[in-house]
Amino acid sequence: MESFGKQAATERRAKKEGNRRTIKEERKNRLREKAAQKAIGKDATFGASDQKLKEMNIKKKQESQNKEQITPEIMAEMTFPMKISIIKAIKSEIISYPAFRYRKLRDLLNLCEDPKDIDVVLKAVTALCEVFSDIIPSYKIRELNEKKPEENKGNGKGKQDVKISKEVEALQAQEQYILKCYKDYLQILETFSKLKIAKSAKNAKDKEQASMFYGSLRLKSVECYAKLLERHPHFNYRLNILQLLVTKLANQEEAVRGVATRSIKKLLRMENNSLLEFKLQILKEI
């Protein structure tokens, strides 16, 4: 009996020892799993930090490239081939990446006022027309100093500051910059469309050369006006463009008169119900 009792006691002790080892092993496994999870979490954090750092570096690089660089001093030192090459490059950049290169519009505007070469001016004017035709949005941009209709109604409540996200703020800044450049461009076109031969021209050769240059600028400016209005009849300053085109309907130059006439006819024939009010404005101006 004692031998059986000792055997049973030995088996119980072995069983308890086995249970303790099993529990101990399970605890070790759980600790290993927790350690592994923490390591994975740290790696993910470092990975996210690296990704964020890369994104910040990319953004800084884009911002550095989205700055106007051509000053009058730099332009004075540039050769004709350099100017033509940079006009093509800037046009391509803005059209390809408008959100990251829109500030380079100012460079093209500066080249539109090159005092040395009429060909550079014509190239810059044409490039800007193509750029604006491509990047102008399909809606009218509300200027920041322009109130919404509901804001003009007195409701007896104080003005409330509306918080906007960084993305919306960045988009507004981009739109306002593009709109300002667009307005400056239209003013340049208006100036070119009214160019006349200077009285200071001393001889017939100077007058003939000036007449040819000024004629090219007058025609190009009206062509750009017409193209922009036909492409974006909904956009800002459409009435200003229309009024200038209407004045060209009776222009002495046949080419200028033809551009304005064809543009007005094309606008009136557009099958777009949203342009009914604008078509009435066209008829009134005529």
Residue 206, pLDDT above cutoff 70: no
Question: What tokens were used for 207?
Answer: 């007058």
Give the predicted TM-score (pTM) of the model: 0.72
- Average pLDDT, stretch 71-94? 90
Predicted confidence (pLDDT) per residue in 129-185, tens digit: 999 999 999 999 988 776 555 555 555 444 455 677 888 888 889 999 999 999 999
Task: Give the pLDDT confidence score for residue 62 in this predicted structure.
Answer: 47
What are the sequence ranges of the domains in the chain? 1-65, 71-138+167-193
Predicted confidence (pLDDT) per residue in 220-235, tens digit: 999 999 999 999 999 9
Residue 116, pLDDT above cutoff 90: no
Give the residue, 88 or 77, on which the prediction is more confident. Answer: 88
Cβ distance 91 to 107 under 8 Å? no
Give the residue, 259 or 15, on which the prediction is more confident. Answer: 259
Task: Give the pLDDT confidence score for residue 52 in this predicted structure.
Answer: 58
Task: Give the pLDDT confidence score for residue 242 in this predicted structure.
Answer: 95
User: 57-72: b or e for each residue (b if 16 or more CB lie within 10 Å)?
Assistant: eeeeeeeeebeeebee
C-alpha triplet 278, 283, 286: angle, nearest 5°: 125
Task: Give the pLDDT confidence score for residue 68 in this predicted structure.
Answer: 59
DSSP-assigned states of every residue in the chain: -HHHHHHHHHHHHHHHHHHHHHHHHHHHHHHHHHHHHHHHHHHHHHHHHHHHHHHHHHHHHHHHHSS----HHHHHH--HHHHHHHHHHHHHHHHH-HHHHGGGHHHHHHHTT-SS-HHHHHHHHHHHHHHHHHHS-SSPPPPTTSPPHHHHS--SPPP-PPP--HHHHHHHHHHHHHHHHHHHHHHHHHHHHT----TT--SHHHHHHHHHHHHHHHHHHHHHHHHHHHH-TTSTTHHHHHHHHHHGGG-SSHHHHHHHHHHHHHHHH---GGGHHHHHHHHHH-
Distance CA 226, CA 246 (A): 11
- Average pLDDT, stretch 96-115? 90
Task: Give the pLDDT confidence score for residue 267 in this predicted structure.
Answer: 93
Distance CA 199, CA 193 (A): 18
In the block, tokens 């884009």 appear at 62
Predicted confidence (pLDDT) per residue in 32-77, tens digit: 777 766 666 555 555 555 665 555 554 454 455 555 577 778 888 8
Distance CA 53, CA 55 (A): 5
Distance CA 235, CA 193 (A): 21
